[in-house]
Structure 1
Amino acid sequence: MAEPFASVLRESRLGAGLTQEELAERSGVSRHAISMLESGGRRPRLSSVTALADGLGLDPTGRGRLLASARKVGGPSGLGASAGSAVEHPSFLLAGDEALAARIESGGSLSADVVDSFMSQTQLLRTLDRQVGAVIMGGQVQAHLAALEDLLAFSMLPQTRDRLARAVVGAAALAAWQVLDLGNTQRAWQLYELSKGAAARADDPMYLAYAMTAQAPVLTAVGKPDLAVELIQEAQRSVGTKASPRLMAWLHASAAEALAHAGRRDASMRAVDRAAAVLPPGDDDWDLEMPDVILNDRNLIRWRGCMLAQLDEAAMSELYDALAKIDTKFTRATASMHFHMAKAHLAHGERDQAANHARQARGLAVRIGSARNRARIDRLCAEL
């Protein structure tokens, strides 16, 4: 008989020496969701169980034990399915042909307006994530992605399937960015692979270029910036002239960032200049053709300043200009700005100013649970 999921999860967490807050940071599943799962107050979904197993660092035996206990809780309608996992879903064995037929009918009856609503929800979740971070929003994003995966798995008609696949691209990329910010590079890579797979399924060059480029920061995070550059360049080649102006600018800006991490200053500056040349003017930062891309003139100024700081060059005017224009509700971006300002001040030998910005950056990073920002701030503080 399978063990109770709540007990297995709690035992695994304690065995790993983690608090609920620490597991939330590692997995991208919110602390509240973990608390509810450990108390038996919430049924586990497959996407959450997989994320928790990754966060716990379970070996194959431990992972299998956790999954088996989750399936026991799920019963005919519990543990949620994700794309590619339908064969393992216990509801197929227990619910019979009628349940499968009903799910296929449900997946095929979605209107374009409903899919658009899902995509709008992704944008709302993205905005909330920029303000409060993955510790609070991670569980909601994971649930949103799981619902889209489930619908896509049972969608048969091309017009609905392709729209759902595009929706999965954005939701999976958002979930990946969250867990990357929490320091889980392996899980982030897997989610970006899901995003790329959905883009390929939709046969949409713009969405595929977006998903490929969004994955590049994982390569940078694991010390492979040259591979990140190659991945973005391949994305640029694959989309060619089919990219919208804002997407093209975002691809150039992303390439500039990867080039800066690779220490290739001149190429980085040329790339950011190309981004400025094609970026549509004005304060709008959303792309109507590619809603997951966010970029305007103010964002690009911040991007340029941060790149110069990454290259250990004086970037004070660009950074202070960007800081004056940034929307401070976007906590992660503001934390990043203060980090790069600390880095720039340190390059000038201005240790007091550097320490001040480092303190502000760390406070914001702690607020949203950004392990990625905390790690680089701690490395910088060691130099102060």
Structure 2
Amino acid sequence: MATPNERLRRLRTEKPSLADPARPMSRAELAELVNLHLWRTTGRRAALDADAISRYERGIVNWPSKTYRAAFRAVLDVTTDAELGFYPSPRGPKARPDTADDDIMGWLQRASSVDQTTITTMAARTEDIRLGDRGQSSVATSQALKEHLDVLWSLRAYSLEPSMREVLASVYSDTASLAGWVYLDSGNIKEAWRLHEAAKDAGRESSARADLAHATAQQAYVLVDTDQPQYALRIAEHAITVGATALSGPVRSWLHGVAGEVAAIVGETTASMEHFDRAVALLSGDTRDPDAPYIMLDEYSLARWRGAALARLGDEEAIADLHFALSGMDPNHLRAGAQLNVDLAHSLVAAGHTPEAVQALDTARGLAKRAGSARQKRRIKNLQSRLGVQAS
């Protein structure tokens, strides 16, 4: 009878869960972290899952391959195999080492078992991360997204069923776009661009037309943050044509909102207002599209967009728009709250209301610090420099 590996089990349960730090790390989480480490360090796509970890903890497998043992040591912060409870069996030859062929066959088998329940679970995980991102730092969100994307990539890459590949591509595109936005917010421009490219690539295979348009439009903000607003506007306006009239009203409204904001950054007043007028017209009725859960647009967020555009264009009407948007904002949305207060500060500066602008920046700074938003911190610092306010 196999001897249970209590050392490995104890090391796992002493680690906090990534999803809920109040609970111990699950076998599935440990498997994903080991798979991720192997991919980063060796380029191999490993196929460990909760069942494999269970076999290790039950002692059925007590001497994994060298690369797997190294990955376990790194993930569980130990230096020796003995600390993991791994040792060569004295009873005959050791277990056959894991090979690249095993990995491929394992993922092909896992991908072949993907069904609608799996898709729903994966999409729900993306949505959970998105909702959690509103009230936590970019660092915590990015770690969860890395692990989730790695599993999604493998399932999609090894899926042999075209219809399932399309649906997996849709979930992957959504998740990669979310990750791209989180990395942009943390100040990692290169990774933000790469992830948006990955999202667009998946969007081309996706069963949902909105995925490609969404990833394309959102990528415009990466160009805005690299001081290339003219190219950003071209991308944002191109995104509107990607799905044309086949997209839902909320999605098309959001696309015009992006283009309107970027046009304002460029200084094209007429184009900006035309896009926002179109966005308002398209948003009438239902404001959610079940096929595009990443589009969360209502009258308050559209008012924020319009207010941000007007602020950049020096229109005092922006102050009323932004105060209206703040009145309808969930206080738990830290990053969005920071952005909205920076936008308000811009409008107040343009209107000559410096004391109120400084107050808005103080609020924004506190929210940006809690959210770990490098992007909003940079915007705050730039505006403080214009005002001659010392950063704190």
What TM-score does the superposition give when structure 2 sets the normalisation length? Answer: 0.74
Q: Find the aligned partners of 2:39 and 2:360 in 1 and give their Cα distance.
A: 36
372, 379, 383: which is aligned to 1:380? 383
CA contact (8 A) 2:314 2:351 kept: no
Q: Does 1:234 align with 2:238?
A: yes
Q: Does 1:119 align with 2:123?
A: yes
Structure 2 residue runs of 5 or longer lacking an equivalent are 1-17, 26-32, 42-64, 76-96, 388-392
Q: Find the aligned partners of 1:291 and 1:118 in 2 and give their Cα distance.
A: 13
360, 370, 385: which is aligned to 1:367? 370
Q: Find the aligned partners of 2:38 and 2:103 in 1 and give their Cα distance.
A: 21
Q: Deviations over 1:206-231 (max 9, x none)?
A: 22111111211001111111111111
CA contact (8 A) 1:44 1:73 kept: no
The alpha carbon displacement at 1:49 in A equals 4.6
Q: How many aligned positions are there?
A: 313
Q: Does 1:295 align with 2:300?
A: no
CA contact (8 A) 2:38 2:68 kept: no
Q: Where in structure 2 are the equivalents of 1:135-174 lying within 5 Å?
A: 135-174=139-178
Paired position in structure 1 for 2:184: 180
The alpha carbon displacement at 1:124 in A equals 1.7
CA contact (8 A) 2:170 2:207 kept: no
CA contact (8 A) 1:244 1:289 kept: no
> Bigger shift: 133-142 or 266-275?
133-142
322, 330, 335: which is aligned to 1:327? 330
Q: Deviations over 1:311-355 (max 9, x none)?
A: 232111111111111111111111111111112222222221111
Q: Find the aligned partners of 1:330 and 1:245 in 2 and give their Cα distance.
A: 25
Q: Which has the higher helix share?
A: 1
Q: Find the aligned partners of 1:299 and 1:243 in 2 and give their Cα distance.
A: 20
Q: Find the aligned partners of 1:48 and 1:278 in 2 and give their Cα distance.
A: 44
The alpha carbon displacement at 1:48 in A equals 8.8
Q: Find the aligned partners of 2:386 and 2:66 in 1 and give their Cα distance.
A: 51
Q: Where in structure 2 are the equivalents of 1:202-351 lying within 5 Å?
A: 202=206, 204-281=208-285, 285-314=287-316, 315-351=318-354
31, 45, 60: which is aligned to 2:36? 45
Task: Kindly provide the amino acid, as one letter, of the partner of residue 308 in structure 2.
Answer: C
Structure 1 residues 143 and 347, CA, compared in 2 at 3 Å: closer, same or farther?
A: same
Q: Find the aligned partners of 1:251 and 1:47 in 2 and give their Cα distance.
A: 38
CA contact (8 A) 2:176 2:199 kept: yes
Q: Find the aligned partners of 1:100 and 1:190 in 2 and give their Cα distance.
A: 25
Secondary structure of the 2:359 match is helix
Q: Where in structure 2 are the equivalents of 1:2-81 lying within 5 Å?
A: 43=34, 45=36, 49=40, 74=68
Paired position in structure 2 for 1:86: none
Secondary structure of the 1:382 match is helix
Secondary structure of the 2:339 match is helix
CA contact (8 A) 1:180 1:372 kept: yes
Q: Find the aligned partners of 1:286 and 1:119 in 2 and give their Cα distance.
A: 16
Task: Kindly provide the amino acid, as one letter, of the partner of residue 271 in structure 1.
Answer: H
Paired position in structure 2 for 1:356: 359
Q: Where in structure 2 are the equivalents of 1:127-138 lying within 5 Å?
A: 127-138=131-142
Q: Find the aligned partners of 2:70 and 2:243 in 1 and give their Cα distance.
A: 43
Structure 1 residue runs of 5 or longer lacking an equivalent are 1-28, 37-41, 51-70, 81-92
Task: Kindly provide the amino acid, as one letter, of the partner of residue 322 in structure 2.
Answer: L
Percentage of matched positions with identical amino acids: 31
**Greater relative contact order (CA < 8 Å, ≥ 6 in sequence):** 1
CA contact (8 A) 2:217 2:239 kept: yes
Structure exhibiting the larger radius of gyration computed from Cα positions: 2
The alpha carbon displacement at 1:310 in A equals 2.1
Q: Find the aligned partners of 1:183 and 1:98 in 2 and give their Cα distance.
A: 38
Secondary structure of the 1:45 match is helix
Secondary structure of the 2:232 match is helix
RMSD: 2.7
